[in-house]
Chain A
């Protein structure tokens, strides 16, 4: 009899626990369903919509497009290693290859140099300003930064007597893409600096002190103790920067609109041009799906790392 009562009350407890879980989960699930899942599925469905019904035509056309303003890959230019345009996807990859190492290195180096330095917060705040300003404004600033008559960069080269670079960088296919990438380093370094600065604060000092006692040099301490301990911070910086680079749009939109001749075009802009200019929602959605699949690669890797580190902690 006692066993029966216990079973009933335990079942009741289980039911009320489930009710509590559902009550707390339901609002989030509804929001996710409405604002995340529905648009994702909607985009996916539109990406297969064609004039003749449903099919993969949009994907085929987006991938094989050869117009410089919308091509994802322009093979003829890659073969001859000419200046851009190389295609929006290649530009995104170039963006990651240049921007990512610079941001990681600069953030790490600045955080290390400014760590425990008096007044360093002022310097950090100035660097962080790039993160605070809206990207549209950032894009405009980049445009003027490289302007032949007003910009600081051409002026610098003019002063150095390098007249070939004392011009409006965003007007030329050889320099347009690199000018945006370098400009975006300034805008995004504040992020990596902040993450690394926070990570430095949480470093166990005992490890470094022990290394010092054992006679390790500054470089040895940095490379063999500090960097391995900053692994999690580095993962965050790398993944967030890659995602930011892959979905870059605003800076390009206001400073060059992907030009000249498509030389600074990126995938998000291609998606936008299909959507707002060609009024071709099918191809725009197909580009969005391709972009989302590409961003899933670093995203999935990041989640795997987070789960792995969670298991290690346990």
Chain B
């Protein structure tokens, strides 16, 4: 065999191998559930068909399971936050001794990397998955990976709008768990008393307060800016938009009925927020947990953060907050549980999901998790004491709970939003370019154009 024939043969073998693998892969990919056009449905053994229309619904979860089963639950909490959730699990297993719960901590981002591939292969990493990313649950539901739990959840039992975020084509795919709020600027009561400061009632008073704080010895900046991958800045921006544009603006921005480069939005960002950044009222973005310590130690006076901060400080009774004067909306976001259709412990999974969506919330809000229930049948007096006063203050101020903007839009736009706001803090003069970028890349704006 000469060299030319040998080379030709080798090329032929490689081509055949590539074609065989490619063909095999194509056949495999096209036979997966994600590629089919059927609507999502449950595969539970307890599924029943009602009426003649062929509508598939699920029966109510059984309250007792004779056989001992262990379900795996994935949630976003780790460290002390996981301990607060384990209190919920403890109460669940006390009520349902035949169901054991194996809890695994996984961030929403990490889950989004691996779970879709497992679902595509007809597997699931857990029987119940809890995530703050409602948009992701809907994306998975669109592909037919999530169990329809419409019969388990009555939207009227929950805070308005919460269930809408996990509803797709009229079916509910996620069960709301507890929620956090991002009500305003947190401060230490003792710090305010020591320096004769008081909560502002008008925008001018707010500016005056910032000036007063700036004069205090040892203060680096009046407001500390938290930094994760940019999300704390997004909360501040949303608060400004809701305060000066009203809660409606938040909804309109989510749906792109109002664009980010709209004159109204530009006016709020350019004339209210940017001057504060430029004049050094905000600090440089600092890793948000480190920022808690520095703010608490008196290096900064104010910190815009969610209600979970109540569980992260030494003395929550020394803690209070105020929103921007005139704010009529507060951003709130919930964690949601869902059941992947590939679980083989459907009954137990549903029992657990029903529990955390209802009475289970009580055990979560009773501890220092800094959360409030989404389930309306749990009264305020069940909340952890420091959270009771926070929640009461929000109610007294008449603040409407509105969904988190970037959590609602989701996808890669969310990371873009965070990143562009980090840029705003570094380069406030680039505000026009930033708002144009956010508009151009907004998925709802792209589809509408």
Residue positions of A touching B, CB distance < 8 A:
33, 37-38, 41-42, 44-46, 49, 66-70, 147-149, 167-168, 171-173, 257-263, 273-279
B423 to chain A: closest residue by CB: A261
* Chain B residues in 8 Å Cβ range of A33: 17, 21
> Which A-B residue pairs are the 9 nearest by beta carbons?
A261-B423, A260-B422, A277-B412, A259-B419, A278-B412, A260-B423, A41-B21, A276-B113, A257-B229
Cβ-defined partner of B112 (8 Å) among A44, A258, A277: A277
Q: A79 CA to B139 CA in the complex, in Å?
A: 39
Known: A45-B29, A172-B426. 8 other contacts (CB 8 A): A37-B17, A46-B29, A66-B440, A260-B419, A260-B427, A276-B109, A278-B411, A279-B411
Contact assessment for B25 and A41 in the assembled complex, using a CB-CB cutoff below 8 Å: yes
Cβ-defined partner of B284 (8 Å) among A167, A262, A263, A275: A167
* Chain B residues in 8 Å Cβ range of A49: 29
- B22 at the binding interface (Cβ < 8 Å): yes
- B80 at the binding interface (Cβ < 8 Å): no
* Chain A residues in 8 Å Cβ range of B412: 69-70, 273-274, 277-278
Instruction: Tell me whether A69 and B422 are in contact in the complex, defined as CB-CB below 8 angstroms, given that A41-B21, A49-B29, A275-B113 are known contacts.
Output: no
A46 to chain B: closest residue by CB: B29
Contact assessment for B285 and A171 in the assembled complex, using a CB-CB cutoff below 8 Å: yes
B286 to chain A: closest residue by CB: A149
Cβ-defined partner of A69 (8 Å) among B116, B294, B419, B430: B419
Contact assessment for A277 and B414 in the assembled complex, using a CB-CB cutoff below 8 Å: yes
Contact assessment for A261 and B425 in the assembled complex, using a CB-CB cutoff below 8 Å: no
* Chain A residues in 8 Å Cβ range of B29: 45-46, 49
Q: Which of A172, A258, A276, A278: most chain B CB closer than 10 A?
A: A276
Contact assessment for A67 and B112 in the assembled complex, using a CB-CB cutoff below 8 Å: no
A257 to chain B: closest residue by CB: B229
Contact assessment for A261 and B420 in the assembled complex, using a CB-CB cutoff below 8 Å: yes
List B388-429 residues whose CB lies under 8 Å from chain A. Answer: 411-412, 414-416, 418-420, 422-423, 425-427
Cβ-defined partner of A259 (8 Å) among B286, B411, B422, B441: B422
B20 to chain A: closest residue by CB: A41
Cβ-defined partner of A42 (8 Å) among B21, B227, B414: B21
Q: A172 CA to B430 CA in the complex, in Å?
A: 12
Contact assessment for A171 and B109 in the assembled complex, using a CB-CB cutoff below 8 Å: no
Contact assessment for A173 and B109 in the assembled complex, using a CB-CB cutoff below 8 Å: no
The minimal Cβ–Cβ distance linking B249 to chain A, given in whole angstroms, is 24
Contact assessment for A173 and B427 in the assembled complex, using a CB-CB cutoff below 8 Å: yes
Contact assessment for A261 and B422 in the assembled complex, using a CB-CB cutoff below 8 Å: yes
Contact assessment for B21 and A69 in the assembled complex, using a CB-CB cutoff below 8 Å: no
Contact assessment for B440 and A259 in the assembled complex, using a CB-CB cutoff below 8 Å: no
Cβ-defined partner of A260 (8 Å) among B113, B286, B426: B426
Assign chain B's interface to a size class. Answer: 35 or more
Give the dominant DSSP class at B's interface.
helix
B136 to chain A: closest residue by CB: A279
Contact assessment for A277 and B415 in the assembled complex, using a CB-CB cutoff below 8 Å: yes
Q: A168 CA to B220 CA in the complex, in Å?
A: 15
Contacts between chains A and B (CB distance < 8 A), count: 102
Contact assessment for B21 and A38 in the assembled complex, using a CB-CB cutoff below 8 Å: yes
- B331 at the binding interface (Cβ < 8 Å): no
The minimal Cβ–Cβ distance linking A81 to chain B, given in whole angstroms, is 16
- B18 at the binding interface (Cβ < 8 Å): yes
Cβ-defined partner of B419 (8 Å) among A44, A258, A274: A258
Contact assessment for B411 and A168 in the assembled complex, using a CB-CB cutoff below 8 Å: no
* Chain B residues in 8 Å Cβ range of A46: 29
Contact assessment for B416 and A41 in the assembled complex, using a CB-CB cutoff below 8 Å: no
* Chain A residues in 8 Å Cβ range of B423: 173, 259-261, 263
Q: Which of B139, B230, B287, B419: most chain A CB closer than 10 A?
A: B419
Contact assessment for B426 and A276 in the assembled complex, using a CB-CB cutoff below 8 Å: no
Contact assessment for B437 and A67 in the assembled complex, using a CB-CB cutoff below 8 Å: yes
Contact assessment for B426 and A148 in the assembled complex, using a CB-CB cutoff below 8 Å: no
B422 to chain A: closest residue by CB: A260
13 contacts between A and B (CB under 8 A): A33-B21, A37-B17, A42-B25, A45-B26, A67-B440, A168-B284, A171-B284, A171-B425, A171-B426, A260-B427, A261-B419, A261-B422, A276-B109
The minimal Cβ–Cβ distance linking B9 to chain A, given in whole angstroms, is 15
* Chain B residues in 8 Å Cβ range of A260: 230, 419, 422-423, 425-427
Contact assessment for B22 and A171 in the assembled complex, using a CB-CB cutoff below 8 Å: no
* Chain A residues in 8 Å Cβ range of B17: 33, 37
Contact assessment for B284 and A44 in the assembled complex, using a CB-CB cutoff below 8 Å: no
- B434 at the binding interface (Cβ < 8 Å): yes
The minimal Cβ–Cβ distance linking B422 to chain A, given in whole angstroms, is 4
* Chain A residues in 8 Å Cβ range of B418: 259
The minimal Cβ–Cβ distance linking A287 to chain B, given in whole angstroms, is 13
B420 to chain A: closest residue by CB: A261
The minimal Cβ–Cβ distance linking B112 to chain A, given in whole angstroms, is 5
Contact assessment for B18 and A173 in the assembled complex, using a CB-CB cutoff below 8 Å: no
Contact assessment for A276 and B285 in the assembled complex, using a CB-CB cutoff below 8 Å: no
Contact assessment for A68 and B22 in the assembled complex, using a CB-CB cutoff below 8 Å: no
A44 to chain B: closest residue by CB: B22
The minimal Cβ–Cβ distance linking B287 to chain A, given in whole angstroms, is 8
Q: A109 CA to B254 CA in the complex, in Å?
A: 56
* Chain B residues in 8 Å Cβ range of A273: 412, 415
Contact assessment for B427 and A261 in the assembled complex, using a CB-CB cutoff below 8 Å: yes
B228 to chain A: closest residue by CB: A257
Instruction: Tell me whether A173 and B419 are in contact in the complex, defined as CB-CB below 8 angstroms, given that A37-B21, A273-B412 are known contacts.
Output: no
* Chain A residues in 8 Å Cβ range of B287: 147
* Chain B residues in 8 Å Cβ range of A38: 21, 25
Q: A273 CA to B422 CA in the complex, in Å?
A: 18
* Chain A residues in 8 Å Cβ range of B425: 171, 260
List B15-58 residues whose CB lies under 8 Å from chain A. Answer: 17-18, 21-22, 25-26, 29
Contact assessment for A173 and B22 in the assembled complex, using a CB-CB cutoff below 8 Å: no
The minimal Cβ–Cβ distance linking A143 to chain B, given in whole angstroms, is 8
Contact assessment for A148 and B284 in the assembled complex, using a CB-CB cutoff below 8 Å: yes
* Chain B residues in 8 Å Cβ range of A278: 411-412
* Chain A residues in 8 Å Cβ range of B227: 171
* Chain A residues in 8 Å Cβ range of B26: 45
B117 to chain A: closest residue by CB: A281
B410 to chain A: closest residue by CB: A277
Q: A37 CA to B20 CA in the complex, in Å?
A: 11
Q: A147 CA to B227 CA in the complex, in Å?
A: 12
* Chain B residues in 8 Å Cβ range of A148: 284, 286
Q: A139 CA to B284 CA in the complex, in Å?
A: 20
Q: A46 CA to B25 CA in the complex, in Å?
A: 9
List B181-219 residues whose CB lies under 8 Å from chain A. Answer: none
Q: A257 CA to B412 CA in the complex, in Å?
A: 12
Contact assessment for B22 and A41 in the assembled complex, using a CB-CB cutoff below 8 Å: yes
B227 to chain A: closest residue by CB: A171
Cβ-defined partner of B415 (8 Å) among A44, A69, A275: A69
